[in-house]
Amino acid sequence: MSENIQVTCSFCSRNKQDTEILIAGANAHICSACIEQAFNIVEEDSKSTSAKTNDFKLLKPIEIKSHLDDFVIGQDFAKKVMSVAVYNHYKRISQIDTSDDDVEIEKSNIIMVGRTGTGKTLLARSIAKLLNVPFCIADATVLTEAGYVGEDVESILSRLLQAADYDVEKAKIGIVFIDEIDKIARKRDNPSITRDVSGEGVQQAMLKLLEGTIVNVPPQGGRKHPDQKMIALDTKDILFISGGAFDGVEKHIATRLNTRSIGFKTDQENKLDGANLLQYISPQDLKSFGLIPELIGRMPIVTYLEPLDRNALKLILTQPKNAITKQYIKLFDLDGVKLTFDKKAIELIVDKALEFELGARGLRSICEAVMLDAMYEYPSEKNKKELVISSSYVIKKLSILKLKKLKVA
């Protein structure tokens, strides 16, 4: 009697002989074709739900700026511009599938102009961490045209894939920070007859990447090879943030604003802040500096970072969660040594950083010089359990390095 019973798939009713594999359950069977179909349905559903939940931590612009205030000192205007741009970008991604009209919101990439050590990279990294999206930093100085020694433009996306653990869907909504963008400016004054392979050529290669196209990316980075397996990555939803010092762009701004160092000045010129001309930066100045108009057009949001003044440097040294002084205190605490910084010592370090004109990075360099001997000796000195960094201690250590002594008020 049991021999006449036909075993069939409980989902598609195929007979056992018509299937490759038929798996038996408690009171049912399922064939390999139905398993494959069910897997595809689950995978598609997980993609759509992850895309919806990747409306992730999309906060309002005021909330984004408030978060940035915990990590970056000052730069209120740059924070406001970045918060609005990032909010609009990810709002644009979330509305793509739900919009019924024909209005298509275009992507708005960002250019940040600011002196070294003012917080360009820190701003971009803090936003990516807040939104929980893949983030990578690419250095524009190593990029060259295809076929020349250096890295292809596509290597930027290889880093983003690595940051996303090679999850293409995650990488599609990531943030790429292109540092030293000013180093690929067009070199118009170069008398050489050779090609500008690391300047204008790289800018032209970046155009479609910034605008949005499907790029074949080598997974491990480096050059493309015919036999190498490529990963197709669509860049239309990747936010590109670029930053650069643009050393000398103030001359172009001054020329455009017609500022004069001698003679009578107009009322409009008197209102200009000559110490911080970067606040008047415009796309026209970037074009004069050497960026091609097509690249500027694909990075329409231009913002600036203010030079760090004395008060900002003092706050950077002591206030943030990962402040430099707190890092040294933690390092010495691990050796059982209590470290404290005197207020006058802090002011001397800030004065020296202003003298070096290296921004926040200058603070770290000076602190390393001041703390070197203590970090060398104290781990071996079991009897020394406390160290106070005073103004006299700072001057003594800086004088050993033959640095100019600072006057103590």
Instruction: With respect to residue 251, please indicate whether it lies within any of the assigned structural domains.
Output: yes
Write the CB contacts of 33 (distance below 8 Å, at least 6 apart in sequence): 9, 12, 14, 19, 20
Domain that holds residue 27: 2-52
Of 304, 331, 355, the position where a domain reaches its end is 304
Q: Which of 395, 399, 401 is nearest to 345 (CA)?
A: 395
For residues 34 and 27, is the Cβ–Cβ distance under 8 A?
no
Residues 147 and 197 in one domain: yes
Per-residue pLDDT at 328: 93
Residues 119 and 200 in one domain: yes
For residues 378 and 332, is the Cβ–Cβ distance under 8 A?
yes
For residues 131 and 56, is the Cβ–Cβ distance under 8 A?
yes
Instruction: With respect to residue 143, please indicate whether it lies within any of the assigned structural domains.
Output: yes
Residues 323 and 393 in one domain: yes
Residues 140 and 265 in one domain: yes
Low-confidence ranges of the chain (pLDDT < 50): 1-2, 51-55, 191-193, 261-264, 405-409
- How many CB atoms within 10 Å of residue 57? 14
Residues 356 and 254 in one domain: no
Q: Domain holding 325: CATH number? A: 1.10.8.60
Per-residue pLDDT at 329: 93
Per-residue pLDDT at 22: 87
Residues 266 and 319 in one domain: no
Q: How many residues does this entry show for the chain?
A: 409
Per-residue pLDDT at 192: 47
Residues 148 and 297 in one domain: yes
Residues 27 and 44 in one domain: yes
Residues 319 and 338 in one domain: yes
Of 304, 334, 361, the position where a domain reaches its end is 304
Per-residue pLDDT at 2: 45
Q: Domain holding 145: CATH number? A: 3.40.50.300
Domain count within the chain = 3
Instruction: With respect to residue 271, please indicate whether it lies within any of the assigned structural domains.
Output: yes
Instruction: With respect to residue 125, please indicate whether it lies within any of the assigned structural domains.
Output: yes
Instruction: With respect to residue 406, please indicate whether it lies within any of the assigned structural domains.
Output: no
Per-residue pLDDT at 240: 93
**DSSP β-ladder status, 231-234 and 214-217:** antiparallel
Residues 349 and 283 in one domain: no
Instruction: With respect to residue 405, please indicate whether it lies within any of the assigned structural domains.
Output: no
Of 250, 277, 304, the position where a domain reaches its end is 304
Instruction: With respect to residue 409, please indicate whether it lies within any of the assigned structural domains.
Output: no
Residues 23 and 63 in one domain: no
Residues 320 and 269: their CA atoms lie apart, in Å, by 37
Residues 110 and 170 in one domain: yes
